[in-house]
Amino acid sequence: MNKKESLNRVEIIIGKYNYWAYILLMMIGFYAMIGKKNLVKKLIGMNIFQTSIILYFISTGSKKGATIPIVEQVPGEAARAIEAIQYINPVPHVLMLTAIVVMVSTFGVALALLLMIYRKYQTLEEDEILRLRK
Amino acid sequence: MIVTPLFSAFLIIIMGWFKKSLCYPLMIIALSVSTFSSFANLESVLSHGTLHYHLGNWQPPWGIEYVIDHLNAFVCVIVSGISLLIGISSKRMVEKEFPEKTVYFYCLFILQVTGLLGIVVTGDMFNLYVFLEIASLAGYTLIAIGEDGAPFASFNYMIYGTIGACFYLLGVGYLYIVTGSLNMADLSKILPSFHNSTVVLIAFAFFAVGVAVKMALFPLHVWLPDAYTYAPSSVSSLVAPLTTKVGAYVLIRVMYTVFSPSFSLQVIPAGTLLCWVAAVAVLFGCILALAQTDLKRMLTYVLIAEMGYIALGAGLGNRNGLTGALLHILNDALMMACLFLIIGAITYKGWPRKIDQLTGLHRKMPVTMAAFVISGLSVIGIPPTCGFFSKWYLVLGAIDAKQWVLAAVLLISSLLNAILFFRVIEKAYFKPVPEDSHGGQDKIMAIDEAPLSMLIPVLLLVGGILLLGILSGKIISKVIQFAIPASL
Amino acid sequence: MEVVTSIKPVLAISVSALAAVLILFTGEKRRNIRELWTLFASVIKFSIVLSMIPIVLEGKTIECTLVQLFPGVALQFRVDAFGLFFAILASALWIATSVYSIGYMRGLQAQAQTRFFFCFALALNGALGIAFASNLLTLFIFYEILTISTFPLVAHKETPEAISAGRKYLAYLLSGATLVFFSIGLTYHLTGTVDFVPGGFLQGHGSSSLLCLLFITFILGFGTKAALIPVHEWLPTAMVAPTPVSALLHAVAVVKAGVFCLLRVILYVFGPNLLSDLHFWLPLAYFVSFTILLSGMLALAQNNLKRRLAFSTINNLAIIILGGCLLSPSAITGGIFHIAAHGFMKITLFFAAGAIYVKTHKENISELDGIGRMMPVTLGAFAVGAMGIAGTPPIVGFISKWYLCLGSLEAKEILFLFVLLGSALLDIGYFAPIIYRSFFKRSQEQTGSSVSEASLFMLIPIIACAAISILLGIAPDAFVHFFKIAMLVAKSVL
């Protein structure tokens, strides 16, 4: 009984390695956002956080042995039947493209903000800024 | 209705190169078009039922669908109407505060409205995320234009907001893995069979936390006071009433439409949890507001308390509670818009924002202060203003659910609000006079009121506050009643 | 009961709202026109109310529905006997007070007179709205309007003392209002309606412990406005307001509105049958008697004239409630009639106190020696009012006290008879010294200069109200049929 349980557990850890990877990344990003004092580090943490989510999404779309979801169409030939199982799910890819765009624009805005903050306070450390503001 | 603001955002930028003065009218036109179309939508929803629009003619659930039902149409009207009013009044304030950036301001303003409207209208979960981010980004930028602490406050807001949006995205992702669909209507059909799955539960949790950040629900409200206090007045008037309310709308959508009510309330005790968190938010907001010396900051804490009311209503899960929550979305949007506009007017005229320094304000700006009194009465919940009616439903809902503590919390918070507002009213209306004088005749002081473009929206909002209170019965029977799922 | 639909109730209420707006816009520069609005409005209001008397005396009620607020609850007005009674009183006394306050404010050259008259008009708006409300919710809406509009009046002088009095006023009244809000919500939850029904509508709904809780919250909530001990403290403190404010609002309209609402709850929401079934009325009667006696004793200890009058008001309000909760026909008639009787007498007293203040700036009883010789008319009126409150015939106070005593005998509770007699003794106890000092003692001052009577604006209302007190004492049904209406109420409820 014990052996079976522990085997099960190992299965969970190894089998779903993609999820663990993304959780790890997310935690790193999260910690950086909250725990670090330097604003740039926070920003990078945010980036890591968002990237981990993108990774997660895409990983959910993958299937064993499937290939890229582009249908090869020879011009002039009639449309062939497509077996969905052979192609990895394109929907998460599409969604993530959008998410990447969002991420990049957020990053851009954030950098602009950081520039403004730096011009004003000459520092990018959170505690120093708080002190300067008092 | 969404397309107009979007395109006009670009148009404004282009226009800005050529002729600066045309930007403002263009923005107003765009907002007016939005408002009229949202009213038209409401009309047709009331007579015909739900509207569907398929983007690019792809059938759902493959394509993105825009759905307007009663709940949507209702919130749409609120969002566009208030943005129009605030757009009108923003002209003077913007010109005073940052004259060289007016073009960008208008452009961002409209983008923000686009984002908000998009959130409200869409029927697709991921599309909602996109619009959410559009609105948030525009918001971050708008807030950062403000005074001293603004960029930093905006940065903080951005960190929190992104976490919230990403959690939401995670929720969408989990749901997608389990169900394979992103369409809200579709999800509501598929999900009931998954009620006991852990994934779905986690998805719900992610949604809840993500939306709570956007809604500034305690304890995820930390970004709100700083962000809204340091933002320029025109921005806070737009963002404050609307963004959080739209967040509340998303919460109600998720809880009641996507996950059916029985799931949200019975499988997980989400309703109960939400209620208690909301109750804490209400008390917390009121008490902290008491401690503020800056009028604008005080209002932001009042906003947190108001969001608590809405969350409380949503969490109660019975007809009355949800009616109260929805009605309060309308009422609070009106009240907060009015209050923040008033503060904008006061600041525009050069008055400081510390409460202690507001003495004698009513002689100089009598109309504005009168509007403040009425909005304040509405927040406290004194009839016949609209605030009373939403509180009525909330209290009824609490009594229905036999939650006496919650009802008590609601009532106590009204009293706390009373203390808050009357403190300001006292300062502004009464000048302390030495005890033994019998007072001289009124010196006719020059009335230095806010300019008309700012006064008119304020007055319209105040009129709305008073009228909508009396008419709330009609509003409920025609609109809100249908927005509540029938199983409640 | 036949129902007549007419827009008259709304008209009567909105006359003063309209006047308020006009006053606001007329402002300080054209003060005579501004006072004219007030006078016009008060006369018009009174006449509209008068025109409704014959209809109600025939046994019909006038109704007017405005807007449907919630399912089962509308913004609705109904003029029945009880509401009409209160309305007559409030509007009649507004005329008197308007004339008086013109004299008072100008005599003192007080500041912010526009705000004063504006809030006054709004307050009367609220009072009539309460009178004509046909359900708890409409009543609550106007109740709040009354509270909010009287706040600037209380804090009018803007001295630190006045501001803190205003704060106390708001704190007490808003807390009471919150309790009322809760009670109304609970009532709606239990029964699905909040309309007033003669004889009550709560019967059969809810367990008796729930009804008990409801009763207590109602009493405490409305009792704040009716100045029941222990939530009475705001009333003496509010005496720092200008005398016309104290006179009308705190001796007539505001606290009378509180008493009115309480009686509405007792007679029209709970109803005599339910109350006697549940035996609620007896504890309430004891509670109220406690107020009667305690306030009488506290009045003896006050040196400030207006504070003493305030405690006397608390005393009389409690007597009215006692009449209501004894649940016998004479008691209810007497209690309701006392609303009017006390109104006229007390307003005479306050007017006199104000006249003294304007002429001599004296507020304390110890300073009032010999005033009677210098201001005989004023103090004469004061004496009339004082004797009336104690229950001396032929002044109107006697009639209401008589019926109240009859009522307590009918209810077979002799204890309350003694309470009433005791309070009459206390009344004599705290009024007599004032009359004695002012007439029979020499003034201590060396000034020698005689103080003359106050201006005609103030004198005429004083004399008028004193005269009416005597008139009503001799012929209680004179002119506006107060007494008949009171009896109608009692009949309809039992």
Tens-digit pLDDT profile for residues B200-241: 777 777 888 888 887 777 777 777 777 777 777 767 777 777
Q: For residue B165, what is the nearest residue in chain A, using CA coordinates?
A: A50
pLDDT for C446 beyond 80: no
Q: For residue A60, what is the nearest residue in chain B, using CA coordinates?
A: B177
Residues of B in contact with C110 (CB under 8 A): 438-439
pLDDT of residue B439: 35
CA distances C464 to B108, B412, B446, C468, Å, are 69, 45, 42, 6
Residues of B in contact with A120 (CB under 8 A): 151
How many other C-beta atoms are found inside a 10 Å radius of the C-beta of residue B49?
Answer: 11
* pLDDT tens for each residue of C251-280: 667 888 888 888 888 888 877 777 777 777
* pLDDT tens for each residue of C117-148: 888 888 888 888 888 888 888 888 888 888 88
pLDDT of residue C33: 76
| Confidence at B443, pLDDT banded by 50, 70, 90 | very low
Q: For residue C107, what is the nearest residue in chain B, using CA coordinates?
A: B438
Quote the minimal CA–CA distance from B170 to chain A in Å. Answer: 7
- Indicate whether B61 belongs to any domain: no
* pLDDT tens for each residue of A12-34: 666 667 777 888 888 888 888 88
Task: Report how far residue C464's alpha carbon sits from residue C461's, in angstroms, rounded to the nearest whole number.
Answer: 5
Query: pTM of the entire structure?
Result: 0.81
Which of 3.40.50.150, 3.40.50.1100, 1.10.287.3510, 3.50.50.60 is the CATH number of A11-63+86-133? 1.10.287.3510
Q: Is A99 on the interface with B (CB under 8 A)?
A: yes
- Give the count of Cβ contacts less than 8 A between chain B and C: 104
What b/e string do you get for B285-307 counting C-beta neighbours within 10 Å, with b at 16 or more? Answer: bbebbeebeebbbbbbbbbbbbb
Looking at per-residue pLDDT, the higher value among B306 and B348 belongs to B306
Q: Which amino acid is at C96?
A: A
Looking at per-residue pLDDT, the higher value among B440 and C373 belongs to C373
Looking at per-residue pLDDT, the higher value among C89 and B472 belongs to C89
* pLDDT tens for each residue of C291-326: 888 888 888 888 888 888 888 888 888 888 888 878
Looking at per-residue pLDDT, the higher value among C22 and B96 belongs to C22
> Which of B391, B411, B477 to mutate against chain C (most C CBs within 10 Å)?
B411
pLDDT of residue B8: 58
Residue range B42-65: average pLDDT? 59
> Which of A23, A88, A95, A100 to mutate against chain B (most B CBs within 10 Å)?
A95
pLDDT for B446 beyond 70: no
pLDDT of residue A84: 59
pLDDT for B354 beyond 80: no
| Confidence at B394, pLDDT banded by 50, 70, 90 | confident
Residue range C76-103: average pLDDT? 81
pLDDT for B13 beyond 60: no
- The count of structural domains within chain B is 1
Q: Is C304 helix (H, G, I), strand (E, B) or coil?
A: strand
| Confidence at B441, pLDDT banded by 50, 70, 90 | very low
Q: Is A134 on the interface with B (CB under 8 A)?
A: no
- Please name which of C115, C129, C112, C108 lies closest in space to residue C38, comparing C-alpha atoms: C115
What b/e string do you get for C359-388 counting C-beta neighbours within 10 Å, with b at 16 or more? Answer: bbebbebebbbbbbbbbeebbbbbbbbbbb
- Cβ neighbours for C222, distance < 8 A, ≥ 6 positions apart: C176, C180, C258, C261, C262, C265
B384 upstream amide cis, omega within 30 of 0:
yes
How many other C-beta atoms are found inside a 10 Å radius of the C-beta of residue C171?
Answer: 17
- Indicate whether B398 belongs to any domain: yes
Q: Which domain holds residue B439?
A: 269-488
- Asked if B176's CB is within 8 angstroms of A60's CB, the reply is yes
Model ipTM value: 0.80
* pLDDT tens for each residue of B268-299: 566 677 778 888 888 888 888 888 778 888 88
Looking at per-residue pLDDT, the higher value among C156 and C349 belongs to C349
- Indicate whether B416 belongs to any domain: yes
- Indicate whether B443 belongs to any domain: yes
Q: Pick the range with the lowest mean pLDDT from A24-38, B41-55, C201-215.
A: B41-55
pLDDT of residue A86: 64
- Identify whether the C-beta of residue B365 lies closer than 8 Å to the C-beta of residue B349: yes
- Cβ neighbours for C54, distance < 8 A, ≥ 6 positions apart: none
How many other C-beta atoms are found inside a 10 Å radius of the C-beta of residue A76?
Answer: 5
Mean pLDDT, chain C, integer = 79
- Indicate the residue of B141, B151, B169 with minimum beta-carbon distance to A120: B151
Q: Write down the H helix ranges in C271-364.
A: 272-278, 281-300, 305-325, 329-360
* pLDDT tens for each residue of C53-89: 777 777 677 777 777 666 667 777 878 778 888 888 8
pLDDT for B445 beyond 50: no
What's the DSSP call for residue C200? Answer: -
* pLDDT tens for each residue of C327-376: 788 888 888 888 888 888 888 888 888 888 877 777 787 777 777 777 78
- Indicate whether B420 belongs to any domain: yes
pLDDT of residue C196: 76
Q: Pick the range with the lowest mean pLDDT from B378-392, B468-482, C375-389.
A: B468-482
- Please name which of B410, B387, B386 lies closest in space to residue B398, comparing C-alpha atoms: B410
Q: Pick the range with the lowest mean pLDDT from A67-81, B73-87, C11-25, C86-100.
A: A67-81
Quote the minimal CA–CA distance from C360 to chain B in Å. Answer: 14
* pLDDT tens for each residue of C447-471: 545 566 767 777 888 888 888 878 8
* pLDDT tens for each residue of B242-256: 888 888 888 877 777
Largest CA distance in chain B: 80
Residues of A in contact with B177 (CB under 8 A): 60
C272 upstream amide cis, omega within 30 of 0:
no
